[in-house]
Amino acid sequence: MTSQPNAPRFARTALTVVVFAIAMGYVESAVVVDLRAALGQPAAPTFPLQLADAATGHLAWIEVGREAATIVMLACIGLLLGRRGWEWLAWMAVAFGVWDIAYYGWLAVFIGWPTSPFDMDLLFLIPVPWVGPVWAPVAVSIALVVVGLLAARRYHQGRDPRVRGRHLVGGALGGGLVLFSLMLDAPGILAGNEPAPFAWPPFIAGMAVAVTAAVDALRSAPRAAP
């Protein structure tokens, strides 16, 4: 027996997650613009990085807290929708990816930045600064949305992907390489230097390893009933 009659329910759930993430991206970009104004910094990221001083330190900690709260909110979406297995992670991936893409889209509306996918951005501050061109987080986000929706649909159909050890190792290794490429320049950034050329080889390698592991896990799902 097929689960196609429930397709509208899946579509509504996916649309709700997408709309939520787009709205969250709006709030996120607005808060970033406001916080940078309060810190006396340009709305668009500039380097060398202006580090917090005694007068602005509390606002910098608010910024770190905002980032942590963002991850908690996205995780909660996954936990609310995930009913078994890794379904929660699939929905979190969708929400995260759409939110990140929407964040850059709203920044372009608010301040006209980024002007190019090659613009360098300060992506994250936990535990150290992450720096990379805009295209890098967008590429990660597109992969998260596509893989997340495919995985969530399989769970919805009762075709749970069989996540094995090799998939976990591949995901961890690939994700680690991506994070390494984004955090590699953290010492120089904290020292007040301009960003170094982006370490795209480990980034591309990490993306390839992680996506390969995800696709293999998706292919492990049982076939749909006729």
Element (H, E) at 120: strand 120-124
User: Does 44 have pLDDT greater than 60?
Assistant: yes
Q: In this predicted model, what pLDDT tens digit does every residue of 135-155 receive, in sequence order?
A: 999 999 999 999 999 999 999
Q: Where are the domains of the chain?
A: 4-161
Q: What is the mean pLDDT of residues 65-83?
A: 92
User: Does 5 have pLDDT greater than 60?
Assistant: no
CB neighbourhood size of 163 (10 A)? 19
The fraction of the chain above a pLDDT of 70, given in percent, is 91
Q: In this predicted model, what pLDDT tens digit does every residue of 169-214 receive, in sequence order?
A: 999 999 999 999 999 999 998 888 899 999 999 999 999 999 999 9
> Helix or strand or coil: residue 131?
strand
Cis preceding linkage at 114, omega within 30:
yes
User: Does 90 have pLDDT greater than 80?
Assistant: yes
Q: Over the chain, what is the mean pLDDT?
A: 89
For the entire predicted model, the pTM comes to 0.89
Q: Hunting for tokens 């501050």 — which residue is that?
A: 125
